[in-house]
Amino acid sequence: LELSRREDDDADGGHAFEDIEKMRGLFPEHPATKEARSRFDEALEQESSARAEYAAGFREVAAKNWERAIARLEIASARESANEEAREYLALAQVELGKRQRTEELERKARISVIYDLANSASQQANYGKALRLLEEILLVAPYQPAIQLRDRINRTKVAPVKPAVIVAPAGVVHV
Residues 6+ apart with CB under 8 A from 33: 4, 20, 23, 24, 27
Confidence bin at 11 (pLDDT 50/70/90): very low
Instruction: Report DSSP state, residue 176.
Output: -
Nearest CA to 93 out of 74, 66, 55 is that of 66
CA 10 to chain centre: 39
Confidence bin at 93 (pLDDT 50/70/90): very high
Q: What is the mean pLDDT of the chain?
A: 79
Q: Please tell me the distance from the alpha carbon of residue 119 to that of residue 151, in angstroms, as a whole number.
A: 9
Confidence bin at 73 (pLDDT 50/70/90): very high
pLDDT tens column, 94-137:
999 999 999 999 999 999 999 999 999 999 999 999 999 999 99
